[in-house]
A and B are shown apart, each in its own frame.
Chain A
Amino acid sequence: MTTTIVLQQAINGVVLGSLYVLVALGLTLIYGVLVQINFAHADFVTLGAFGAYFFMHLIGGGYILSIAVAFAVGAALGWGINAAIFTPLRHKGNELLPLIATIGVSVMMQNLMLAWFGPIPYAFETPYSSQVIRFAGIFVTWQNIIIIAVSTLTIVLLYAFMKFTYLGKALRAVSQDRETAGLMGINPNQLIMLTFVIASALAGMGGAMLAPVLVLTPFAGTSVIVKAFAIVIIGGFGNVEGTILAGLIVGLIESFTTQFLDPGLIDIVVFALLLLMLAIKPTGLISERREENV
C-alpha cells in the first residue's frame, strides 16, 4: 500500500465528508432549536439539486451561481413549508404532529418531484467535474476543490453567525430555554422560522454540491439522509461542532473501508460506530450540556 493511495483516499474522504456535513448541519440546527427531527430534509436537498440543475440547463446559468440559486430555493421552501404546515401544527401543542408531518411532506415532495421531473436519472455535469488536477500520483477535480471551499466557508459563516450576531445569540437562547428567551423579548416563533430557513437553505445548497456527485433523481436526497442522521447522532444531536467532526470521520471511514475492506461493508462499519457511540457516549463525539448546543 503506497502513501499516495492513502493520501488519495484521505482526500476522497474529506470531500465526501464535507458533503455529508452540509446536509447534516441543517438537521442538527433544527434539532438543536426545536428538538425535532425533520424527515423531509432529504427532499429539500433534492429540490435544491434540481433548482441548480434547471438554473444551469434552462437558463444557462453558471454552476457557482447555481449554488446560490439552490440556497435560495431551499430557503424559500423552508419558509413556505414551515409557515403553511409545521407552525400551525406546532401551535396545537402536540410535538408528535409536526414530526409526523415531516414524513408526510417528504412523501408528498418525492412524488411531486417524480411527477414533475420523471424517474430517469439526470446527468448533472459542471464544467469543473471533468477538470482534473494530477500531481505526484494524486488526482483531484476542481469540483472537489469547490466542495471543500464552499463547505469550509459555510461552516465558518455559520459559526460566526451563531457566535457573534444578535440573531445567532437569540437562536442559542431559544435553544436553551424557549420560554425564558420569550420573556427577554425574543420572539421564538420568528427564530424557529429563521432556523428552518437556514437549515433548508443549507440543504438546498448541499443539493447543488451533491448533485454532480449523486445520481440526480427525485429520490437523490434519501440516499444520503440516512448517513446524515447517523452523523448527527455520532456528533451529538444538535451539536454543530460534533456534526462537522462526525461528517468528516464518516467520509474517511467510507474511503478507507472501500480501500482496505470492501465497499459493501461501509454501512456496517458506519452504523456499528453509531451503535458504539450510543452505547458508550450517547451524548455524541463532543459532549456538551444540551443548552450549549447550536
Chain B
Amino acid sequence: MTMPFRALFLGTIVISLFTVGPTAHAQDKTIKIGALFPMSGPGSYFGAQDKQGVELALEQLNKAGVNGYKFIVQYEDSACSPLPATQAAKRLIEQFKPDVIIGEECSDATLAVMPVVEQAKVPLINAGSSSIKVTEPGNPWTFRIMPNEVMQGINLAENAAKRMNAQTAVLLFENTNAGIGNAQVFKDNFTKLGGKVLAEIGFGRDINDFTSIATRVAGLGKVDVIPTYTLEGQGLKITQALAQAGVTKGGGGNAIQIGTIWLPFGFEQKAGKAALGYIRIVQFDPTDTRDVAKNFAAEFKAKYNADPTHLNAHAYDQVMLIADVVKRGGKDAQSIRDSLAATKNYSGVTGSVEFDKSNQNIKMDTIHYMETKPDMSWTSLKWN
C-alpha cells in the first residue's frame, strides 16, 4: 500500500469513526420495552387497543428522546392466557432482552408471567390485571398502576350500598382468578354493609348464550344491583340477555348492572338500549379536565381519528411512566425497577401513580365511575 493511498485509507476510517460514532452511540442509548399483549383469542381486543396507545406514546417520545434515550417496543402475543403468556415472556427475555416489560391484561396471564420476569430480573408494569395476587404477595419486579380488585371492589360495594341504596345483589363473573376475586371482594364488603347477595353465578369463557342465566336471575325476586365481571364479548351478551329477561333498566326492570374495570369504551354502543343505567368503573375519564388527559385525547384523535378508550389510555400511561423513570435516571432493568419503586405523584392520563411497598399504585383517582345514559353516552359520576 503506497503512502498516499494508506493516508487516504486511514483518513477514511477516521472520518468514518467520527461519522458512525455518534450513530452507534445513539443506537446504544435505547430503552427496550417488551410488550405482552393478547393479540389472539377472546381478549385480543385488549392487544389491538393497547398497541394504539403504545404507538402514540412512542411517536411522541422518540421525537426528541428522553435523557438521550430512544424507546423501541417488541410485541408478543400473550393471548390472555397463562401458557402462551409465559412462552411469550420467555421469548421476549431471551431474544429481545428488554429493559422493561409492559402487560399482560388478564390476571391469570400476568400471574403466570411474574415468576419469569422475577427470575430474569426485568421489571414488569401492569395496567390491566386486577387480581390481588399480582401485588399480594407479588414480587419486587412487578408494578401495577391500576387499582386492584380490592380497591375497586370495596369502593364499588360502598357506592352500591350507600349511594345507590342497593340491598340485594346477584354476582355474575367468569371463572378466572380476576372474575372470582372481584366477585368475592364485592360480596364480602357488600354484606358487611348490610347488603344481601342472592346468588353467585360463575361461568366459563366458552358460554355463549346467557338467556338461561338471565332467566335464573329473573327468578330470584327483587335484585337491586348486578355486579358483572367478564370480558367484552360475554359482557355484551349478558347485558342483552338481562334486558330481554326484563331484569335490568334497559329491559324495563329495576336492577342496575355495575362493574369494575373490565369493559372497553364503546361497549354501550354495541350493547344498545340494554346497557341503559349501567354504572361501571373505567380507567380513563374522557371528561377529565387535566391538561395531560386533554392533550392525550386530542393527540389520539389526531392520530387515529377516534376517541381514546381506557385501554388506549392505560397502555399510553405504561410507556409514559417508563419515560418518566428514564428521565429520573433509569437506564437498565435494575435502575428502572428502583426508580419505579420510588415513583411519587406521577400524573398520568388515567390518574396518579405512587407505589406502596408491594408495588401497588395507591392512588384512588384512577377509579372513574361512568353511568350509561339513554342515548348510550356517559355521565361521569365523579364519585372519587
* Chain A interface (Cβ < 8 Å from any Cβ of B): 1-2, 5, 8-9, 12-13, 15-16, 19, 114, 118-121, 123, 125, 129-130, 132, 134, 139, 141, 210, 213-215, 217, 219, 223-224, 226, 254-255, 258-259, 262-264, 266-267
Contact = CB atoms under 8 A, between A and B. Distances in A.
13 contacts: A5-B219, A8-B215, A119-B40, A119-B45, A121-B45, A121-B232, A123-B270, A132-B246, A215-B208, A215-B236, A215-B237, A255-B215, A262-B202
Given A119-B48, A217-B42, A223-B208, 14 more contacts: A5-B215, A5-B218, A9-B212, A12-B215, A16-B211, A119-B40, A134-B246, A213-B237, A214-B237, A217-B44, A254-B212, A263-B201, A264-B202, A264-B203
Contacts of B175: 264
B233 interface: yes
Given A139-B244, A258-B213, A259-B216, A125 B272 contact: yes
A133 to B, nearest CB: 10
Q: Contact residue range for chain B?
A: 35 or more
Contacts of B218: 5
A141 B212 contact: no
B44 A114 contact: yes
A123 B271 contact: yes
Given A12-B215, A264-B203, A266-B207, A215 B251 contact: no
A118 B212 contact: no
Smallest CB-CB A-B distances: 8 pairs: A215-B233, A119-B44, A123-B270, A258-B212, A263-B203, A255-B212, A120-B45, A121-B233
Contacts of A263: 201-204, 207, 212-213
Contacts of B228: none
Interface in B243-284: 243-246, 251, 269-274
Interface string B195-214: 00000011110111101110
Task: Pick from A129, A210, A255, A263 the residue with the most CB of B within 10 Å.
Answer: A263
Interface string B234-246: 1011001001111
A129 B204 CA distance: 24
A139 B40 contact: no
Contacts of B273: 130
B237 to A, nearest CB: 6
Contacts of B203: 263-264, 266
Contacts of A210: 208
Contacts of A118: 48
B41 interface: yes
Contacts of A264: 175, 202-204
B101 interface: no
Task: Pick from A134, A224, A255, A258 the residue with the most CB of B within 10 Å.
Answer: A258
Contact of B240 (A2, A12, A129): A129
B244 A141 contact: yes
A215 B234 contact: yes
Nearest to B250: A130
Interface string B127-150: 000000000000000000000000
A267 B204 contact: yes
B233 A226 contact: no
Contacts of B42: 215, 217, 219
Task: Pick from A8, A16, A224, A226 the residue with the most CB of B within 10 Å.
Answer: A8
B236 A123 contact: yes
A219 B41 contact: yes
Contacts of B245: 139
Contacts of A2: 219
Given A213-B237, A262-B201, A114 B40 contact: yes
A267 B205 CA distance: 11
Contacts of B270: 121, 123
A217 B233 contact: yes
Contacts of B207: 263, 266
B276 to A, nearest CB: 12
